[in-house]
Amino acid sequence: MVNLGLFSGAKSMKSVNLSFRLPYQTHWGQSLLVCGSEPVLGSWNVKKGLLLSPIHEGDELIWSGGVSVPSGFGCEYSYYVVDDDKNVVRSEMGMKRKLVLAEGIQDGEVVEFHDLWQTGSDDLPFRSAFKNVIFNRSWALNIETPLGAIQNKLDEEAETVLIQFKICCPTIEEDTSVYVIGSHVKLGKWKVQDGLKLSYAGDSIWQGNFSLESGPNRELAVGSSKNQPRYIFLSDGMFRALPWRGAGVSIPMFSVRSESDLGVGEFLDLKLLVDWAVDSGFHLVQLLPINDTSVNGMWWDSYPYSSLSVCALHPLYLRVQALSENIQDDIKEEIQKAKQRLDGKDVDYEATMATKLSIAKKVFSQEKDLILNSKSFQKFFSENEDWLKPYAAFCFLRDFFETSDHSQWGRFSQYSEDKLEKLIAKESLHYEVICFHYYIQFHLHLQLSEAAGYARKKGVVLKGDLPIGVDRNSVDTWVYPNLFRMNTATGAPPDYFDKNGQNWGFPTYNWEEMSKDNYAWWRARLTQMAKYFTAYRIDHILGFFRIWELPEHAITGLVGKFRPSIPLSQEELEREGLWDFDRLSRPYIRQESLQDKFGSYWTFIASTFLNEYHKGCYEFKEDCNTEKKIAAKLKSSAERSLLLESEDKTRRGLFDLLQNIVLIRDPEDPRKFYPRFNIEDTSSFKDLDDHSKNVLKRLYYDYYFHRQENLWRQNALKTLPVLMNSSDMLACGEDLGLIPSCVHPVMQELGLIGLRIQRMPSEPDLEFGIPSQYSYMTVCAPSCHDCSTLRAWWEEDEERRQRFFKNVVGSDVVPPSECVPEIAYFIIRQHVEAPSMWAIFPLQDLLALKEDYTKRPAAEETINDPTNPKHYWRFRTHVTLESLIKDNELKSTIKGLVKGSGRSHPVGENEVQAKEESAATTAQTQQVATGKEKLLVTQLNGVPQKEISAV
């Protein structure tokens, strides 16, 4: 166990009084509790932990408490905020605290630990993105003093107190020491040379001790009573320095183009992208999801967020040339022809997938025995068989039954371990087909691992993407059906991306079931992801607070409800004077609205799709009373041939009728209701009496903006910490859209980094975000994959362009109609100069810095259209990575922006040489006091203060 905060004494005695002290401002009904790994602190059962007592000291609320422990006691511990029943309200983030009391402290001595509450942001330097990549040192620090060791023992006769300082300095540079200075003579009287030099104790922690006389005049809470502590361990958290800031580039894996790829970006292309990123001053490369999406066997599978498996990698990104060193000449020739055929402007998903799998099967047939019997494959298989075996079986059954809909697989519809083992057994007729899928995943793993290792070596963070959902016809819904609500669909309410809302089609999660094994499915998913990535983006992080849930029969995303949420009860509505629930919850269809919407052929619509249940009042027929039924009926040849309008226009009109409701009745409890989103836009609402309108407007506001906040906060605090603690990756959250007020405080508490897109400001009174006012715990970007690129956005709307030019650029002249390099430079500079921790730019926006790369129509650079659920994700950059690496002008422009903003940047090979040549000169200016080392000086509590109060 690492010794954190402990000491060595001279004699072995019976017991020590261990005291904890922590400043923390709680709310009414809350208390602070310390819980640890040993029985005396509850053995990690919070309800058995040590409850602390509060006392006011000035403006601070100090929580403290003590327990008697044996000499030599050791444990791990953390602090918790609890309610009156000791239910956890909030937990500390980051690593567990560790303590070991060495033998020799006298019987009855008081050892006091002064701690600070650990927030999520305190843990960031220990995430792999920083610890193993950005701050990863090519030099090693030797542990001078193990954590807790004492450098000078107490004078047993004198009334002295030993104080140990501890501070975390993760960004320490080579040949640097850490000193504490203060007003006391033993702290140098504010002179660095005479201060207390701290020793490195491991895990980026520096510590040091000094003895201090006790007495009535000292402002440290050390009196002359018998119970005063003789040992104080003072944790000062992080070294206060200018916040670290970096920059990065984002591009989907499929959009990358290189001279070696086969019609699409491939994992091994990431090495070239990393080289370009380093030369351009970027510490990060961000990708879209890279999991297998082969659900439909066609271009619909280009949608990267619809996972077939949350663990399997996509065969699309395989480099077939790297499968073997002994590829036959005829296969090499086939690869060369395929490269020429598939080297198009956009990705041809179906042709590329078919070609790669065909070539891979030929190579597999040659070397299957060699690979499958190799130690490296056996190791891969044993480490991944929990997901790999069901995945391979699923792929075989999908192809055998010609559908991914596992409900159509006969006796295999219901997954079982026994059926699986028989299917994949070596004696099975299909064993070779099963092994082919193992083989593909093995090579994808090798290729992505090679690229990921290269990125880490170069100081570049590889950032992945965690989709919010899985396809309803996926391995995961087959193996774990109890974890999903298969009669529902996931989406998003109307927002910037789509005024009609979005329906992604994924089943929503059964969080109650997932919680029973502490979210093991999520933990396994994050563990797998961390094999390759050191940071990740949580797609639609709002879904961990609440998800927009739609009925499975919906096509659009408008008529949904939040899950979880507190509904409007029938009793509540009746108390407000609302009683006609059929009127409020059924589609409100009147003859006048039919005539207005469909004109002269309204009678055809009425007779085909509706029943008149009262004069002038209509309802949908049973065979078309859902969106999917309407779409299916319109597809039938009989109705289509009679339509006087286009099918799309008729479908939209019928959907409008179906969505013309005020309340959504809960399908599982008919006495619960949810207000329909944008309720005031409906004619159903407009035709109500004034009393009903006023009541519904008030209840609508309460439902969407007030009553759910505490529930959603509690929901997020159950799930998100589990995700974050499942790996050491740096977590970022996509928090765009309709943002509940609880979201940003929770993200800040957990150390989650948010997203800011300038054209989608979170402030309701702004049209354009102000990057200089973004908070530090954010990623800022001018655009993202879900909206148009910088160039396309600039060209879309002339009036908006003029407002931006006037209000943001600060010019009254007519702006250029195209996003010329000067405009791109201005906007990118705005973002690199922002306080945000990360500024991450889509590659398309960076290419706009040079006119040579702006010849392609801007609209063609858009990756996704969120309003189109069947969008073809196929954008490819029109320039190869090799060409970009040779373009020193563009790289110099980008790096100049990054360096000029004060952001950190990786050191390239040329800079290493230049740094070595100037080392002798710069060393003299950096040396302080000893002439041999640089100093990090931590003043007590950050500023000069009175003599002992700083200690």
The first and second tokens of residue 30, run together, are 């809350």
What is the 3-state composition of the chain as percent helix, strand, coil, each rounded to the nearest 5? 40, 20, 40
Q: pLDDT band at residue 13, thresholds of 50, 70 and 90?
A: very low
Instruction: Please report the pLDDT score of residue 921 as a whole number.
Output: 47
Q: pLDDT band at residue 914, thresholds of 50, 70 and 90?
A: low
Alpha-carbon distance of 756 to 829, in angstroms, equals 15
Closest CA to 188 of 177, 178, 196: 196
Strands (E), 831-928: 838-842
Closest CA to 197 of 221, 175, 180: 180
- pLDDT, mean of residues 494-509: 86
Hey, is 785 helix, strand or coil? Answer: coil
Q: pLDDT band at residue 141, thresholds of 50, 70 and 90?
A: low
Instruction: Please report the pLDDT score of residue 913 as a whole number.
Output: 57
Name the CA dihedral angle for 619, 623, 627, 633, rounded to a multiple of 10 degrees. -120
Instruction: Please report the pLDDT score of residue 122 as a whole number.
Output: 85
* Residues 6+ away with beta carbon under 8 Å from 34: 20, 41, 49, 50, 52, 65, 77, 78, 79, 80
Neighbours of 377 (CB within 10 A): 19
Instruction: Please report the pLDDT score of residue 160 as a whole number.
Output: 75
Whether residue 49 is predicted with pLDDT greater than 50 in this model: the reply is yes
Whether residue 864 is predicted with pLDDT greater than 60 in this model: the reply is yes
DSSP string, 873-887: -----SS-HHHHHH-
Instruction: Please report the pLDDT score of residue 869 as a whole number.
Output: 83
Strand partners, 803: none
Q: How far is CA 338 from the centre of its chain?
A: 37
Q: Is 4 exposed, middle or buried (0-12, 13-18, 19+ CB in 10 A)?
A: buried
Alpha-carbon distance of 395 to 418, in angstroms, equals 18
Percent of the chain with pLDDT over 90: 72
Instruction: Please report the pLDDT score of residue 2 as a whole number.
Output: 39
Q: pLDDT band at residue 931, thresholds of 50, 70 and 90?
A: very low
- First-to-last alpha carbon distance for the chain, in angstroms, is 27
Closest CA to 34 of 25, 730, 45: 45
Whether residue 9 is predicted with pLDDT greater than 70 in this model: the reply is no
The first and second tokens of residue 414, run together, are 């219901």
Q: Is 369 exposed, middle or buried (0-12, 13-18, 19+ CB in 10 A)?
A: exposed
Q: Is 115 exposed, middle or buried (0-12, 13-18, 19+ CB in 10 A)?
A: buried
- pLDDT, mean of residues 338-365: 97
> Burial letters for 925-943: b for 16+ Cβ neighbours within 10 Å, e otherwise?
eeeebeeeebbbebbbeee
Instruction: Please report the pLDDT score of residue 209 as a whole number.
Output: 65
Whether residue 881 is predicted with pLDDT greater than 90 in this model: the reply is yes
Whether residue 930 is predicted with pLDDT greater than 50 in this model: the reply is no
Alpha-carbon distance of 481 to 495, in angstroms, equals 31
Hey, is 121 helix, strand or coil? Answer: helix
Q: pLDDT band at residue 212, thresholds of 50, 70 and 90?
A: very low
Closest CA to 10 of 305, 178, 230, 283: 230
Neighbours of 215 (CB within 10 A): 12
Instruction: Please report the pLDDT score of residue 196 as a whole number.
Output: 87
Whether residue 162 is predicted with pLDDT greater than 50 in this model: the reply is yes
Alpha-carbon distance of 109 to 375, in angstroms, equals 57
Strand partners, 113: 20, 233
The first and second tokens of residue 774, run together, are 């973004």
Q: Which of 219-223, 234-238, 616-620 ranks highest by mean pLDDT?
A: 616-620
- pLDDT, mean of residues 852-857: 95
Alpha-carbon distance of 432 to 538, in angstroms, equals 37
**Higher model confidence: residue 196 or residue 251?**
251
Whether residue 949 is predicted with pLDDT greater than 60 in this model: the reply is no
Q: pLDDT band at residue 600, thresholds of 50, 70 and 90?
A: confident
Whether residue 944 is predicted with pLDDT greater than 80 in this model: the reply is no
Whether residue 148 is predicted with pLDDT greater than 50 in this model: the reply is no
User: CA angle at residue 90 from 17 to 469, to 5 degrees?
Assistant: 140
Hey, is 922 helix, strand or coil? Answer: helix
Instruction: Please report the pLDDT score of residue 950 as a whole number.
Output: 26
Instruction: Please report the pLDDT score of residue 907 as a whole number.
Output: 85
Mean pLDDT, all residues of the chain: 88
Lowest mean pLDDT among 222-226, 343-347, 388-392, 900-904: 222-226
Query: pLDDT by residue (tens digit) across 55-101?
Result: 998 889 999 999 999 888 889 999 999 999 999 888 888 888 888 87
Q: pLDDT band at residue 414, thresholds of 50, 70 and 90?
A: very high
497 φ, ψ (degrees, to nearest 5): -75, -35
* Residues 6+ away with beta carbon under 8 Å from 283: 133, 134, 246, 247, 248, 277, 459, 460, 461, 904, 905, 906
Instruction: Please report the pLDDT score of residue 929 as a whole number.
Output: 33
- pLDDT, mean of residues 523-552: 96
User: CA angle at residue 709 from 706 to 710, to 5 degrees?
Assistant: 130
> For tokens 């850490």, what's the residue?
178
> Burial letters for 527-536: b for 16+ Cβ neighbours within 10 Å, e otherwise?
ebbbebbbbb
Whether residue 220 is predicted with pLDDT greater than 50 in this model: the reply is no
Instruction: Please report the pLDDT score of residue 320 as a whole number.
Output: 98
> For tokens 């697989």, what's the residue?
409
Q: pLDDT band at residue 266, thresholds of 50, 70 and 90?
A: very high
Instruction: Please report the pLDDT score of residue 841 as a whole number.
Output: 98
DSSP string, 233-286: EEEEEE---SPP-EEEEE--GGG---SS-SSS--GGGHHHHHHHHHHTT-SEEE
Whether residue 381 is predicted with pLDDT greater than 70 in this model: the reply is yes
Task: Please give the single-letter amino acid code of residue 139.
Answer: W
Q: Is 1 exposed, middle or buried (0-12, 13-18, 19+ CB in 10 A)?
A: exposed
Query: Which helix (H) or strand (E) covers residue 163, if one does?
Result: strand 160-168
Instruction: Please report the pLDDT score of residue 217 as a whole number.
Output: 31
* Residues 6+ away with beta carbon under 8 Å from 592: 616
Query: pLDDT by residue (tens digit) across 225-242?
Result: 556 777 888 887 777 777
Alpha-carbon distance of 390 to 387, in angstroms, equals 6
Q: pLDDT band at residue 494, thresholds of 50, 70 and 90?
A: confident
Query: pLDDT by residue (tens digit) across 656-685?
Result: 999 999 999 999 999 999 999 999 999 999
Strand partners, 489: 550
Q: pLDDT band at residue 943, thresholds of 50, 70 and 90?
A: very low
Instruction: Please report the pLDDT score of residue 917 as a whole number.
Output: 57
- pLDDT, mean of residues 600-621: 92
Q: Determine if the pTM surpasses 0.85.
A: yes
